[in-house]
Amino acid sequence: MAKSKGGDVATWLRARATRHDGVEESTTGAGGPSESSTYMAGGKAFLFVATKDDMYELRLKLGTSKAEASRHASKSPDRFAIGATGWAKITFPKSEAGPRPILERWIDESHALFVPANSKVGAATKPKTKTGPIVKKPAARAKR
């Protein structure tokens, strides 16, 4: 694993992805050119981390940060890319710590997109409110 002035990037990425409850880690494309560590929540992958030659390549899904990712992509197209469906690709050298403040937010956002709001996995549950049956008042009697 690569060390940078910011520490072991792969270990940091793993810790950030698995800080949420219920995250599963696996390897996708083992032994092939597209091999990556895959992090799943709610049965769906929310982060892929691949090491290619001397680079890290991350893929994650964005919602509210798509516009921000587009701005980064227009300034640094070799490091950032965003697709029409919200999947972003972030690439940076293993010798660097990477854009950690951005990655922290985006990893958390990607995770949140795949965890149902009412799920106990990785999110606080909303209290259930009980409503009783609707009771209609008896109709007023007509005077005769």
3-114 folds as Aspartate Aminotransferase, domain 1 (3.90.1150)
What pLDDT is recorded for position 132? 43
* Mean pLDDT of the residues in the chain: 81
Tens-place pLDDT, residues 55-102? 999 999 999 999 999 999 999 999 999 999 999 999 999 988 888 999
Tens-place pLDDT, residues 100-135? 999 999 999 999 998 866 565 444 333 333 444 444
Per-residue pLDDT for 30 more than 70? yes
Q: How far is CA 102 from CA 30, 51, 68, 118, in A?
A: 28, 19, 10, 26
Measured from the Cβ of residue 74, the count of other Cβ atoms closer than 10 Å reads 10
Per-residue pLDDT for 20 more than 80? yes
Give the 3-state DSSP-derived string for 109-135, with helices as H, strands as E and coil as C: HHHHHHCCCCCCCCCCCCCCCCCCCCC
**Long-range CB contacts (< 8 A, 24+ apart) of 124-131?**
none
Return all residues near 29 (Cβ < 8 A) that are at least 6 apart: 35, 36
What pLDDT is recorded for position 64? 95
Task: Report helix, strand or coil for 25.
Answer: strand
| Dist. CA 50–CA 27, nearest whole Å | 10
What pLDDT is recorded for position 116? 66
What single-letter DSSP state applies at residue 97? -
